[in-house]
Amino acid sequence: MRKIYDFLEQDTRAAGATRVLISTAFILIIWQLVSLVVTNRLLLVPPLEVATALVREFQQGAMATNAWATVTAVVSSFIVSVMIGVAIGLALASSRFLSLTGGPVLSALNSVPIIALAPLFVAWLGLGFASKFVLVLLVAVFPVVVTTEAGLRATDKPLIEAAQSFNASRWQIFTTVTFPYALPFIVSGVRVAWARALVGIVVAEFFGSFAGFGFAIMSASQTFDTARVLGYVILLGAMGLIGSVAFAALERRLAPWRLE
């Protein structure tokens, strides 16, 4: 038993995959047991019925249509939000004037419930890709801005002073000290942004789309098709898990010293 624990605590792909399988199996078992107690199928259905509903969606072609609509919108807007967020964070960290003047404005915008404005974006930009793109971008950009600025400002002063003692230029200090130090912060912000982007795309598709996971969840809810609802929710959860694992791997690759 001790060997199993030691294996599961390892930071390897095999151990990570095993941990995911164990967690998934545990959730499925609990889910199945709860579904035996909750007999109202409007509230909860067994895992097998959800899997059957997903297979039916795939066979009918609805899965491919919805997946294409959601993935293209969320990935494209997420990539743009990361680029914009990093750029704004760099600007705020490099200029005290910009930080003092633009920081409060960004904090106020971050406090605004952007998702609640989804109907307005649909009214302005219409149904389809444009409204979803803008809404997800606005939801996902702020965590990247905050973590980028925080990471750049958190760089240890002795490291910067050591680089300056070797007559390093500002660009050299940025590329070899400041930005590498801030990378783990930025990746953490990207992981949060990905989770927020998935929430944003679902809300956007509730209000302004003819296809997508959010649209499918809304239509299934209106017909009380609990199996379809849970099926698409699980797919969104899987997208979140894949993104989290991918960004964690990216952090290990870009900042291996964090594991030392």
- 250 with 149, same domain: the answer is yes
Reference 204, options 128, 124, 110, 113; nearest CA is 128
- 71 with 12, same domain: the answer is no
Residues 6+ apart with CB under 8 A from 7: 15, 18
Total domains in the chain come to: 2
- 51 with 32, same domain: the answer is no
Please give the model's pTM, rounded to 2 decimal places: 0.82
- 10 with 110, same domain: the answer is no
pLDDT attached to residue 8: 57
pLDDT attached to residue 81: 92
- 127 with 26, same domain: the answer is no
Cβ–Cβ under 8 Å, residues 15 and 199: no
- 134 with 179, same domain: the answer is yes
What is the extent of the structural domain holding 98? 46-259
Question: pLDDT (tens digit, 0 to 9) for every residue of the chain, 260 residues total?
Answer: 666 666 556 666 666 677 778 778 888 888 788 888 877 777 788 888 888 888 888 888 888 888 898 888 899 999 999 999 989 888 888 877 777 777 777 777 777 777 777 777 777 777 777 888 888 888 888 888 888 888 888 777 777 777 777 777 777 777 777 888 888 888 888 888 998 898 888 888 887 778 788 888 888 888 888 888 888 888 888 888 888 888 887 877 776 665 55
- 23 with 93, same domain: the answer is no
- 54 with 110, same domain: the answer is yes
- 59 with 143, same domain: the answer is yes
- 26 with 51, same domain: the answer is no
pLDDT attached to residue 53: 85
Q: What is the CATH number of the domain that holds 166?
A: 1.10.3720.10
pLDDT attached to residue 83: 92
pLDDT attached to residue 4: 63
- 128 with 75, same domain: the answer is yes
- 31 with 123, same domain: the answer is no
